Amino acid sequence: MSDTPILVVDDTDEVREVVITILERLGLVSHGVANVAAAKAWLAKSVPPLVMLDVMMPDGNGLDLCRWIRAQPRLEKVPVIVMTAIKDDETSEDAFHDGATDYIQKPIDLEVLTGKIARFIPVKPRQD
């Protein structure tokens, strides 16, 4: 597995921190950013093993970011999990059409999130 952290992109501090905490408890390292511009800047320097991104952000749309990721040759194979509070079939269809590898509804269920992450990255829960 890569030493590069998982990228978590969400404009809501609480959601971003909860996802990062969950990842840490699974033995994974992550890096959080609050918007599309920060995500693009970070991705310009790093190729993470996974990107988790929100759909609605103040400086853009997470689905546009997903399309941008897929258009970058060095990032095109990175798994992308779209996270959103939007509860309609159209958004999930759009996410997959725009290149998402998986999709999760907010509020985020710990077991569902763990299962989705484990599809892409081996997880080792911390022994507290």
Assigned domain for 54 exists: yes
Assigned domain for 13 exists: yes
Q: For residues 116 and 128, what is the distance between their CA atoms, to the nearest angstrom?
A: 23
pLDDT number for residue 93: 93
Assigned domain for 1 exists: no
DSSP alpha helix (H) spans, the chain: 13-25, 36-43, 62-71, 89-97, 110-118
Report residue 58 as tokens. 């103040």
Question: Rounded to 5 degrees, what are φ and ψ at 77?
Answer: -100, 0
Print the domain residue range for 100: 6-118
Q: Rounded to two decimals, what is the model's pTM?
A: 0.92
Assigned domain for 127 exists: no
Assigned domain for 126 exists: no
* In the block, residue with structure tokens 């969400």: 10
Q: For residues 69 and 77, what is the distance between their CA atoms, to the nearest angstrom?
A: 9
Assigned domain for 64 exists: yes
Q: 46-99, pLDDT tens digit by residue?
A: 999 999 999 999 999 999 999 999 999 999 999 999 999 988 888 889 999 999
pLDDT number for residue 1: 45
Q: Is 18:108 a contact under the CB 8 Å cutoff?
A: yes
Q: 61-72, pLDDT tens digit by residue?
A: 999 999 999 999
Q: With 90 as the cut, is the pLDDT of residue 122 above it? A: no
Assigned domain for 123 exists: no
pLDDT number for residue 128: 56
Which CATH number fits the domain that encloses residue 106? 3.40.50.2300
Number of H helices, E strands in the chain: 5, 7
Number of domains composing the chain: 1
Assigned domain for 125 exists: no
